[in-house]
Structure 1
Amino acid sequence: MFIFSSLLFFLPIAYAVPVDPITGATSTNNESDILPRVKIQNGTIIGQGLGAVEDFKGIPYAQAPVGPLRLRAPLPLNKGFGTMIAPLIPNSCPQFITSIDKSNLPNNVIQLLSNTPFVQVATQQSEDCLNLNVQRPAGTTSKSNLPVVVYFFGGAFELGSTQLYDGSSIITKSMILDHPILYVAVNYRVAGFGFLAGKEIMADGSSNLGLRDQRLALKWVQDNIAAFGGDPTKVTIWGESAGAISAFDHTIINGGDNSYGQGSLFHGVIMNSGSIIPAVPVNHPKAQTVYDQVAAAAGCGWKADSLACLRKVPYQNFLNAQSSVPGFLGYRSVDLAYLPRPDPSDNFFPLSPEIPVSNGAFTKVPIIIGDQEDEGTIFSLFQKNITTTNELVTYLTSFFPEADRSVLAGLVATYPNNPAAGSPFGTGLLYNIYPQYKRLAAILGDAVFTLTRRGYLSTVSSQVPSWSFLSTYLSGTPVLGTFHASDVLENFFDLPSIPAAVAVQNYYISFINYGNPNSITKANDVPWQRYDAANPVLLNVGALGVSTLQDTFRKESGEYLVRVQHDLRI
């Protein structure tokens, strides 16, 4: 998904709606007169859609983080915007599509071109991007009180946009089931704009800005969603990959306290491929290296106040500078330059995520969490020089700066040096495109996603209702298997003939409505067994439908990862 979603950003888009340049009034033609409109705290939104789903896209939920507000925590809107026609395609936040290394031309010409003004305009990238989309069934009113799902996109905390995640399919399905839902998708800052770290960032109180954007959006939902017909007491947060990690992070932010006003920000969590990512602090030397590289590339490295300089450099300069570090679609893979890092100076996100989970300091709400069978394959395509066990251990040492080499050697030893045991799983000796490919793919997939999920559930499933799944519907696909983010297709596209897609949407709609994936029953549904660490059963989402599967595969590796999780901070 990361690969083809990156290409989608290059599709040119243009849209204009007639508005009086003096009064701001909308056109009085017949079409605009019948378009849906909703009055919220800061103004009136005129939506789109004359069919089954009504769209209110690009609604601002914060002040534009531009000028002196660049690299600062988001601020709520402080003035009204009058009447606004929702655009068909809202601005996306600036992207880190791939890294820029000007010393390696012409190989990196495409990387430079991805940040040119033409591509920025064509994909509607802008620093003024803190907006969200609301989509609802046609005919919904402020009295409908529909359950709400809030979606956070994935993209390795480097790229992504609500442009790619339209909720029409799942909304339509919810209407067919007669259990309608309301869908919200949130744009938040990514890469250097949203997750730059370093001691300068920590001293300024400006860490984890992308998470702070999301948190402010959740508060916006509480304040405004009733006007659209949503029930603020029934909000589920949902994300995939970086979005799933974000959704998990919201369960530990502020020590697990998600209260807001007289209620709570959310009441359930769905995590597709992502949960705990142990991380070194925002001021750790590893994080500082990224900050120093970005500051130097922007021409700010020699300044006494480099952060103030970064706020003042032209947009294009900062865009290129934040793209000067390694990207996830490259040799460094999931050793990410940008990700949520604990900031011990701030109660917002002070601890490495495994600590509050171990301490029980997380939001106690029902959860769904699951993975694709071959999470690590797309992240292991670029390391063909790794041919031996020793080289594999050496490669992993840079991921985890606080781990002793012996710890990593112990982890690698739990994975046989045999392609038949590697990922894509179940493919025997096939598809080992370089000597350690399938072994590395298994390790990265398990350590970042699949077996970390199991460790997480071993702690939380006794405290909150939990359901877990493994998707295997692309099993046997050459080289990639059931690869990371392939589930986006089933969740967001209309695939009525694919049993897995139908089943998963049924379960999710039930969970969003009732906090339980089994509350909406159909004759062909397989009951999704609640997860129990003593008898861990997964829903197996296969090509021909769903079944059950014991969550006991690669047991030795899973137990080892739990024992050394404090050492494996990225």
Structure 2
Amino acid sequence: MKATALVALVAGLLPIAGAVPAQNVNVTIPSGTIIGSVDNGVESFRGIPYADPPIGDLRFKPPVRLSRHLGEFDATRKPVACHLGPIFGPFADTEDTTATFAEINVAISVLKDTAGDTPSNFDEDCLIINVQRPQGVEAGANLPVLFWIYGGGFVAGSTPPFDGKNLITTGVQLNQPFVYVSVNYRVGGWGFMPGEEILREGSGNAGLRDQRMGLEWVADNIAEFGGDPTRVIIWGESAGAISVFDQLVLYDGNATYKGEELFHGAIMNSGTALPTDPLNGPKGEAIYSAVVKAAGCEGKPEGSLSCLRDLHNDDFAAAANSVPGIFSYPSLALSYLPRPDGTVLTDSPDALAKEGKFHKVPVIMGSQEDEGTAFTLFQVNMGTDEKIVNYLSKYYFGDATIDQISEFVGTYSDKISDGSPFRSILPTELYPGKRRIAAILGDMVFDLMRRVTLQIFAENHPEVPSWSYLSSYDYNLGLNPVGTKHGSDMPVFFNGSNDDLPTISGRTYYLNFLYELDPNNGTQVDVLWPQWKEGRQLLWYNKKNNSLRNDTYRESSYDFMLKNIDSLRF
């Protein structure tokens, strides 16, 4: 069926204003008949299990494909969420935090933007997938598929807050209808437990394997929902974006299933190749040991891993979440995150990209202008080079020398006006050095790591199409104390009105990419977005207009990161 005819079909089947939609709709797949709901022209099928419950002996282990028949499955209810890992604390190292309730509210706001509202229903049996489509679409429609992976620092997140209705409605309006899929994956200690015991068992990075099994479910089933398994784009933000990059390099770039590619393009909002130490490295071992100790599993005859699996989930959660959270003094030195395990991730993601061991598909990578401001609320006095160097050495770069870290820190100005939020005219900061450390953390995890990743692609595999952007729509004349912070884009994409330029332009570029693997082709755009390798230019999202900006700011910091990336692993 031609696209124009399909669009007409979809538009004709959408309910007119004031009409009462049908109560439900059914789709039959090999595992059962899935009963979905209809709301304002969008059909939703929520909470469909794609794996057996990862409980008991399966805790921490790779997911096991669903082995039971679902019969008639009610997919009209709000799905469960996977349990949360550590979020807040500790707030200080040797001194009390200077953060106020206002700063804590900023952190909560960022968590809400990246991970969504806190779910009301958690369950260890949480490996489910959701499908949404325009009303009236049926099997055989062969619509492209947008596969969403949520963020949350690998310790939070769930699918319900990232409802695809507004995106789907926009797609229909732009004559680019599509199927939207979102997947639950395990986070925290359930999905990313590190350590030698996990490595030896072959259970590393269970959360990434959950995502991969979700993609395999799409390959097996999405055609029955009207989706085309040969036109899948994966999209994620924050930890979800890092996960998207990890999906590129998973199994040394092997993204095939039953002889076909699982996805055909990738979009990364605020996250790319995060350099990481091995699963059984010093950082991973320290986390595992702390959890085992907190759980009372030291010296158990059955072994610490069996002991952790035998715990009631509440007791395990208390132990797993006794380590530092994402909003804490260590901050982005995450307790739980994907780490090389020799099987799923055979090396640090940046190293795999350099070696060409990645799935070579078109990519979009972007950042918010002030990625680090919300992750520097719970530190104290960073007013000297020495304090920042010691902080980074202790919590982040265990393989780097003090001289290397000192050189890196020296590439950042100590003037308040040069820190993040960038371009701000505010003359003060929460504590000495706050804006400088915000610039450093935001760059080394998100913004300049994005540029490093793009440069690795451009140098080693220039045949891979790539586009990049910078979002500054919360700049507000330089008066916003956190600027365009991490997570600012999620309300814009998911909840914003198409009357607002950042929302409609962002959705248009992404839907064009979904359809044509090029953000410029399809619906007309206001600014032609060049590939990054053609001149290192960014699409610059602003509140009232878009433009292009050279991706050359903080060049000395970027140069250091590119040359020393092997020593900057988390």
Give the TM-score normalised by the residue count of structure 2: 0.89
Residue 47 (structure 1) aligns with:
36
Cα distance in 2 for partners of 1:247, 1:395 equals 29
Residue 513 (structure 2) aligns with:
511
Cα distance in 1 for partners of 2:135, 2:38 equals 8
Q: 1:283 to 1:375 in 2, by over 3 A?
A: same
Q: Once the two structures are superposed, what CA deviation does each residue of 1:277-331 show, in whole Å capped at 9, x if it has no partner?
A: 1111001121111001111111212324100010010110001111100001111
Give the letter for the 2:216 counterpart: K
Residue 390 (structure 1) aligns with:
386
- Residue 249 (structure 2) aligned to one of 252, 270, 277: 252
Aligned 1:160-171 pairs, distance under 5 A: 160-171=157-168
- Residue 377 (structure 1) aligned to one of 336, 353, 373: 373
Residue 556 (structure 1) aligns with:
556
Cα distance in 2 for partners of 1:276, 1:434 equals 30
Cα distance in 2 for partners of 1:194, 1:409 equals 35
Q: Is the Cα–Cα contact under 8 Å of residues 59 and 131 in structure 1 kept in the other structure? A: yes
Residue 468 (structure 1) aligns with:
468
Q: Once the two structures are superposed, what CA deviation does each residue of 1:470-518 show, in whole Å capped at 9, x if it has no partner?
A: 0011113522100001100111113223211110000001111111111
- Residue 195 (structure 1) aligned to one of 192, 210, 217: 192
- Kindly state the Cα deviation for residue 50 of structure 1 after the two structures are TM-superposed: 4.0
Give the letter for the 2:43 counterpart: E
- Kindly state the Cα deviation for residue 257 of structure 1 after the two structures are TM-superposed: 1.3
Tell me the matched-pair count: 525
Show structure 1 runs of 5+ residues with no match. 1-30, 115-119
Cα distance in 2 for partners of 1:79, 1:122 equals 26
Cα distance in 2 for partners of 1:62, 1:122 equals 21
Residue 404 (structure 1) aligns with:
401
Cα distance in 1 for partners of 2:166, 2:65 equals 31
Cα distance in 1 for partners of 2:22, 2:167 equals 28
- Kindly state the Cα deviation for residue 32 of structure 1 after the two structures are TM-superposed: 11
- Kindly state the Cα deviation for residue 429 of structure 1 after the two structures are TM-superposed: 5.1
Aligned with 1:252: secondary structure? helix
Give the letter for the 2:511 counterpart: I
Q: Is the Cα–Cα contact under 8 Å of residues 503 and 545 in structure 1 kept in the other structure? A: no
Q: 1:512 to 1:122 in 2, by over 3 A?
A: closer
Give the letter for the 1:390 counterpart: E
Cα distance in 2 for partners of 1:301, 1:489 equals 44
Aligned 1:164-243 pairs, distance under 5 A: 164-243=161-240
Residue 530 (structure 1) aligns with:
531
Give the letter for the 2:530 counterpart: Q
Give the letter for the 1:467 counterpart: W
User: Is 1:65 the counterpart of 2:54 in the alignment?
Assistant: yes
Q: 1:483 to 1:50 in 2, by over 3 A?
A: closer
Residue 15 (structure 2) aligns with:
none
Cα distance in 2 for partners of 1:154, 1:299 equals 31
Residue 23 (structure 1) aligns with:
none
RMSD (Å) for aligned C-alpha atoms: 2.2
Cα distance in 1 for partners of 2:89, 2:331 equals 15
Give the letter for the 1:313 counterpart: L
Cα distance in 2 for partners of 1:234, 1:333 equals 37
- Kindly state the Cα deviation for residue 545 of structure 1 after the two structures are TM-superposed: 2.3
Give the letter for the 1:385 counterpart: N
Amino-acid identity (%): 43
Q: Is the Cα–Cα contact under 8 Å of residues 151 and 184 in structure 1 kept in the other structure? A: yes
Cα distance in 1 for partners of 2:428, 2:368 equals 18
Cα distance in 2 for partners of 1:363, 1:439 equals 36
Q: Is the Cα–Cα contact under 8 Å of residues 425 and 481 in structure 1 kept in the other structure? A: yes
Q: Is the Cα–Cα contact under 8 Å of residues 515 and 522 in structure 2 kept in the other structure? A: no
Give the letter for the 1:368 counterpart: I
Aligned 1:112-511 pairs, distance under 5 A: 123-304=120-301, 305-344=303-342, 346=343, 348-398=344-394, 399-428=396-425, 430-461=427-458, 462-475=462-475, 476-511=478-513
Show structure 2 runs of 5+ residues with no match. 1-19, 109-116
Q: Once the two structures are superposed, what CA deviation does each residue of 1:125-145 show, in whole Å capped at 9, x if it has no partner?
A: 000100011000000000111
Aligned with 1:246: secondary structure? helix
Cα distance in 1 for partners of 2:118, 2:357 equals 43
Aligned 1:93-108 pairs, distance under 5 A: 93-96=82-85, 98-99=87-88
- Kindly state the Cα deviation for residue 99 of structure 1 after the two structures are TM-superposed: 4.8
Q: 1:543 to 1:122 in 2, by over 3 A?
A: closer
Q: 1:100 to 1:319 in 2, by over 3 A?
A: farther
Aligned with 1:188: secondary structure? coil
Q: Once the two structures are superposed, what CA deviation does each residue of 1:425-473 show, in whole Å capped at 9, x if it has no partner?
A: 0014534221111100000111111111111111214131111000011
- Kindly state the Cα deviation for residue 263 of structure 1 after the two structures are TM-superposed: 1.2
- Kindly state the Cα deviation for residue 164 of structure 1 after the two structures are TM-superposed: 1.3
Q: Once the two structures are superposed, what CA deviation does each residue of 1:92-123 show, in whole Å capped at 9, x if it has no partner?
A: 0001253578xx9xx9xx99xx9xxxxx9971
Cα distance in 2 for partners of 1:82, 1:270 equals 35
Q: Is the Cα–Cα contact under 8 Å of residues 248 and 271 in structure 1 kept in the other structure? A: yes
Aligned with 1:251: secondary structure? helix
Cα distance in 2 for partners of 1:298, 1:99 equals 19
Q: Once the two structures are superposed, what CA deviation does each residue of 1:387-418 show, in whole Å capped at 9, x if it has no partner?
A: 32110110000211111111110100000111
Q: Is the Cα–Cα contact under 8 Å of residues 99 and 325 in structure 1 kept in the other structure? A: no
Q: Is the Cα–Cα contact under 8 Å of residues 374 and 445 in structure 1 kept in the other structure? A: yes
- Kindly state the Cα deviation for residue 361 of structure 1 after the two structures are TM-superposed: 1.3
